[in-house]
Structure 1
Amino acid sequence: MTNKPFTDSFFEPAAQRHIAVIGAGIAGITCARTLVQAGHRVTVFEKSKGAGGRMATRTTEFGGFDHGAQYFTVRDERFEKALATATGLVRPWSANSVQVLDDLGRVVAASLPAKEAHWVAKPGMNALVRQWAQPLLDAGQLVLDTRVVYIEEDKLDPKRWQLQTDGPGAGVHSGFDAVVLAIPAPQAHALLRDSEQATPLLADLAGVNVAPCWTLMVAFPQAQQPTLSSLGPQWNVARSTHHRIAWLARESSKPGRGPIERWTVQASPAWSQRHLEDDAERIKGKLLKAFTEVTGIRAEPPYASVHRWRHAQTTKPLGKTHAWDAESRIGACGDWCLGHRVEDGFVSGLEMALAIL
C-alpha cells in the first residue's frame, strides 16, 4: 500500500496473518490499513456500495448532503498525522456561528467562538474514508455490497474462522486468523449472538447504547449563493431544543460545496427513537413542519428526503478504545467505544489494530 502510515510504531517481523474486518467506516478502514502496513493480509467486508459508514454524503442533482457526521475535530496527534496524508481533502469549516434555539426558532444563546477547529472533507464527508480505502479496493481487499451474516470455525482449519455472506457476492470466505467487527455495537452483538459465539465480547457490547437519528435533507434551487441572499436565518448552524430537531446546518456554508441553498436537519435521539418505525413520508412531513418553525423558511422545497440511521449517536460508550478477545481472536471497534466523534472511530480502529499486532 503506497499511502503513508498512520503511526510511526514499528513491529518485529512476524508470520503474515489474514484478518477479516467487517465494516468499512473510519474505524474499519483505519484498522485495516494499519494491519496491512504491518505486513498482514486483510479483507474488509462492507454491506453498502461504498466505504464511509456514517461519514456519508447523499449526492443529488442539487448538490451533496452530509447526512451523517457533520464535521470532525482533531485532538489526537495520530489522527492529525493521518489527516496529513489526505492531501487537498480536509478543510476548516467556520461553524462558530452556532446558535442555540428554542422551539420557535428564537436564539436563546449564542455560542462563543469555537474552542477548537471544525473540519470537513470535501466535496463531501465521505471523501476522506473513501480516499483511505481506495488502495484496499484497488488491491481487491475491500469487498463491497456484501453483508456478513455468520461467523464460524473454518471447516478445513478449526484454528481459523470463516464468514458466511449474502449480497451479490454471497458465499463463504475462509482462512481468517482473526475477525474484527467494525460496526455499531448492537449489530456486532447481534452477529456474535446469532453466530453462537460465546465470547466475553458479548457482555461488553451489551452494555453499549447507541441512539437512532432521523435526518431530513432539503434543497431550494431558486436560492443560490452568492448571487441571491440566503433564505431564512442569517446563521448557518444551530443546535436546537425543539422537541423534534437537535441540529441544523446549511450545507452551502461548508467549504468545497455547491452554491444551492441546502439544509441537513437531524432529529433528536429521543424523538428518533419514539418514531423509529414510522413511515418515511410521515417523518418527512413532521420534520419539514419543524424545519419551518425553527428557520422561518416557508417556501416548499423542490427536494426533500429523509434517511434513518438506526445506530447514530452513542449515549453509553464502552469506556475503552476497543474490545479484544485474544482467546477467540475476535475484536470489535468503532466510535461507540469512546463516544460518537469521528476521531473516536479513528482512534478505536488504530488501537484495535495495535492490539492484534
Structure 2
Amino acid sequence: MTSSIAHSAAPTGVLVVGAGISGIACARALRDAGVTVRVVDRARRPGGRMSGRTLQGRVVDLGASYFTVPAGSGFSGVVERWVEKGLARPWTDTFAVIGTGPDARTTKGPMRYSAAHGLRSLVVDLADGLDVGLECDVAQVADDGTVDGVQYDTVVLAMPEPQAARMLAPASPLIARLDTAAWEPTIAVALGFAERAWPAELHGAFVEGSSVLTFVADDGDRRGDRAPVIVAHSTAAFAREHLDAPEGAVSAVPGELRALLGLEPSIQPAWNHAHRWTFARAASTHPEPFALHERIGVCGDAWGGRSSVATAWASGDALGRAIAGRR
C-alpha cells in the first residue's frame, strides 16, 4: 500500500521522486552541498531499473545487466569505493555474439562490472544516510513545485520520461523537452537449471537475428557464485506482445535459448520467472545531462548521451549540483 509524502515532507527543500541510481545520485549531490532533500519512490526498496528479485533463495538481476565506467568520469570514484567494499567487481570485457546462424564470435569492449549481491545493493549503498521514503505514491507535480498539495523549493523527477510526463501538468513547458515515444520495453526471463550446461566462457551474449531475444547473461558467472541461472532479455517487439501478461513470454524462451546456445533438447529449466519493464531503455537520448525549468528538473539515463548506468548516475549528480549551485 502506498502512502502520502506530506506528513514527512520538508517544504523548503528538494523532493526527488524516484529512488533509482539517478535519483539517489541527485539526492547525494544535494545533501553533500548542504541542501535539505528527501527521496520518495512507490517501490518497497531503492533500485529502479537496477533491481532484481530473490528467486529460489538467491538474488537474480532482472534489470540492468551490468555497468561500465567511462574514463575520467566522476562515476569512477563511486565504483572504486564499491569495489573496495566488496559490493562491485569487474566481471568481463568479452561477450559472445550469437544468432540463428551457425557462426558465433566474441567481441571485446570496456570492462563490465557486476555486483555480488545484485545491482540493487549498489543503489542501496549509495542511498545510505539519505532521507528515503518508500511506498510513497506521487500523483501530480505542478510547475511551482507543488506535489500533491505540498510546496517544495524544487522537485526532481528521476524516472523514464513517459512516467515523468504523466506527473506533470499538461501545459508544463517541460513536456516539450521530453521524448516520451522513444522508449523500448523488454521482458527479462530468469531460468534456473539443475546444472550448468553451457560453455564456461559464455559470460554474456549479444543476440543477433532473433525475434525473441537480444541479450543473454550467465547470472551465476556475473554474480560469482556459479549458480546455474540464465537471464534472457527479450526484443522490444516481442515484449510489446506480452506486456499485459509477461508470464506468457516464458514459453518461447527456453527453446530459443537452446537453439542459440546449442544445448540438447533434454536441457530444460527447473524454474522460471518473467519480469516486465515497460520503459526499459531510451531508444534515443538527449545531449544535455538533464532538464531544469524553474522549480522542476528531470534526470535519468536518457540524458547525457549513451543510455547506461553511468549516464544515469552522471545525470542525477549533475542535476543535483546545478540545483545546489543556484541556491
Structure of greater Rg: 1
Residue 153 of structure 2 aligns with which residue? Answer: 177
Superposition map of 1:121-140 within 5 A: 121-136=115-130
Q: Alignment partner of 1:51: what SS?
A: coil
Residue 189 of structure 1 aligns with which residue? Answer: 165
* Corresponding residue to 2:215 among 218, 233, 247: 247
- Rounded Cα–Cα distance in structure 2 between residues aligned with 1:177 and 1:344: 26
Residue 146 of structure 2 aligns with which residue? Answer: 162
Contact 1:208 1:336 survives alignment (8 Å): no
Residue 32 of structure 1 aligns with which residue? Answer: 27
Residue 102 of structure 1 aligns with which residue? Answer: 99
Indicate the percent of aligned positions where both proteins have the same amino acid: 27
Q: Alignment partner of 2:228: what SS?
A: strand
Q: Which amino acid aligns with 1:293?
A: A
Cα offsets for 1:238-270 (capped at 9, x unmatched): 111122110001111124x43320000001223
Q: Alignment partner of 1:148: what SS?
A: coil
Q: Are 2:18 and 1:20 aligned?
A: no
Residue 65 of structure 1 aligns with which residue? Answer: 60
Contact 1:318 1:336 survives alignment (8 Å): yes
Two-structure CA RMSD over aligned residues (Å): 2.0
Residue 178 of structure 2 aligns with which residue? Answer: 205
Contact 1:95 1:237 survives alignment (8 Å): no
Provide the TM-score with structure 2 as the length reference: 0.87
Residue 117 of structure 1 aligns with which residue? Answer: 111
Q: Are 2:319 and 1:352 aligned?
A: yes
Label 1:89 to 1:281 Cα distance change in 2 as closer, same or farther (>3 A). Answer: closer
Label 1:276 to 1:191 Cα distance change in 2 as closer, same or farther (>3 A). Answer: farther
Q: Are 2:252 and 1:286 aligned?
A: yes
Deviation at 1:64, TM superposition (A): 2.3
Contact 1:239 1:247 survives alignment (8 Å): yes
Q: Which amino acid aligns with 1:81?
A: G
- Rounded Cα–Cα distance in structure 1 between residues aligned with 2:106 and 2:33: 47
Q: Structure 1: where are the runs of 5+ without partners? A: 1-15, 154-159, 165-171, 224-229
Deviation at 1:277, TM superposition (A): 3.1
Which is worse superposed, 77-86 or 308-317? 77-86
Contact 1:99 1:107 survives alignment (8 Å): no
Residue 216 of structure 1 aligns with which residue? Answer: 189
Deviation at 1:297, TM superposition (A): 5.1
Cα offsets for 1:110-138 (capped at 9, x unmatched): 22x33x211112221111111111211xx
Q: Alignment partner of 2:138: what SS?
A: strand
Label 1:265 to 1:351 Cα distance change in 2 as closer, same or farther (>3 A). Answer: same
Contact 1:62 1:219 survives alignment (8 Å): no
Q: Which amino acid aligns with 1:336?
A: A
Superposition map of 1:74-113 within 5 A: 74-75=69-70, 76-86=72-82, 87-96=85-94, 98-103=95-100, 106-111=102-107, 113=108
- Rounded Cα–Cα distance in structure 2 between residues aligned with 1:149 and 1:297: 50
Q: Structure 2: where are the runs of 5+ without partners? A: 1-10
Q: Alignment partner of 1:149: what SS?
A: coil
Residue 132 of structure 2 aligns with which residue? Answer: 142
Provide the TM-score with structure 1 as the length reference: 0.80
